[in-house]
Chain A
Amino acid sequence: MVDAGGIRLHVQRTRPADGRIPHATIVLVHGLLTDSLASYYFTVAPAFAAAGLDVVMYDLRGHGRSERPPQGYTLDHNIDDLEALLDRLAVTGPVHLVGNSYGGTIAFGFAARHPERTATLTLIESEPATAAWAAKLGRILDRVMTELAHNERDALAWIIAHRGHNTARLAKGAARLARETTLGRDIPASRVLTEAAIRAVRCPVLGVYGGESDLAGLVPLMRALLTDYRPVVLSGYEHSVLVEAPAAVGGHILDLVGAGAGVG
């Protein structure tokens, strides 16, 4: 556990097993409600460490093994946490940021705030914070909250069905997070980025999408906004492409990171 500016976050850090000095740091940010750092730990993280990277994974506030305060769940809180965590870990140089789903929205926000600390950015099934994004998250979270209030059993079944291969225990944890914290209200109320702020992100940005996911429809817009944007659409996959196709996703990230570090 690491104290990141007043909140205790669960962190896992892996390095090359053979004792090599890592050539760069890669920071992996997970998604909302049922997600945790485990989605990276057991998928792409071992390959990243084997490729000579210092791999930092953490559970977002309220998630996994991190502290769950009753409030403070806007996007800016999450970006502040990431900033404080990197400071606390003394990771000061530019990092390769990877975010899955909401984690990518956090990573993009960090890159917009700190271009000098961001080497590359990978958005897996993810998008920057825009008004449209906030409205969509509002609808999704509204539905979760309403169903929880009315019929927790049905709501849990809905979470399980929509968030992949999870057990009832995980769904209950997500329900607790939604019910006992302000997350459901805070995220849709987050400050979003202006178009100019999105355009100002000039580092290489890899976008990975499941071909069956509607997020793949964002490719033209992102291409128009970003100077160095590299979209990859993996056909046959949906929103959970990270855990279902880790070798393909990890390979594209290592290509990006290798190129960014000049060792590809």
Chain B
Amino acid sequence: MNPTQPAPAQPTADTVLADLTGMLRTVLAEYGDDDVLIGMSTTFNRDLELESIDLVTLAGLLEERYGQRVNLAEFLAGMEFDEIIELTVGRLVEYVVWSLKTTQAG
């Protein structure tokens, strides 16, 4: 494996974070927010003020990019309400990397 080559089938946390940042900028553009800092510790609710309907849009963008292997609805449906409120970009990055690896192996 050569980490300097972009390889969509085996994305790293860095490439997923870059993808996700782009998707979040698309979602936030609707609100005119184009200069928000996005990193692994950024929270969806408190920092980005994303609404649940924005997360539906994000779910669509994730599926477009990675296919049905990445299912944001299932990921969030398995969480407690408080966990969703505290959800960070980093946690979603980990989930995406994990689901792509799992399905790759299977």
- Docked pose: A6 CA to B31 CA in angstroms: 26
A42 x B51 contact (CB < 8 A): no
Seen from chain A, the residues whose Cβ lies within 8 Å of a Cβ on chain B are: 12, 14, 17, 36-39, 41-47, 59, 64-65, 165-170, 173, 243-244, 246
Seen from chain B, the residues whose Cβ lies within 8 Å of a Cβ on chain A are: 31, 45, 49, 51-53, 55-57, 59, 68, 71-74, 76-77, 81, 84-85
**Which residues of A have CB within 8 Å of B76?**
42
**Which residues of B have CB within 8 Å of A44?**
77
B53 x A14 contact (CB < 8 A): no
- Chosen A-B contacts, 13 in total, with CB atoms closer than 8 Å, are A36-B52, A36-B56, A41-B59, A42-B52, A65-B57, A165-B81, A165-B85, A167-B49, A168-B49, A169-B31, A169-B49, A170-B51, A244-B81
**Which residues of A have CB within 8 Å of B74?**
46
- Docked pose: A167 CA to B51 CA in angstroms: 7
- Docked pose: A38 CA to B56 CA in angstroms: 6
Point out the residue from B31, B68, B77 that lies within 8 Å of A17, measured CB to CB.
B68
- Docked pose: A165 CA to B45 CA in angstroms: 10
A38 x B51 contact (CB < 8 A): yes
**Which residues of B have CB within 8 Å of A37?**
53, 56
**Which residues of A have CB within 8 Å of B85?**
165
Of chain B, the residue at the smallest CB distance from A172 is: B31
A42 x B73 contact (CB < 8 A): yes
Q: How far is the CB of A47 from chain B (nearest CB, A)?
A: 7
**Which residues of B have CB within 8 Å of A46?**
71, 73-74, 77
Q: How far is the CB of A53 from chain B (nearest CB, A)?
A: 14
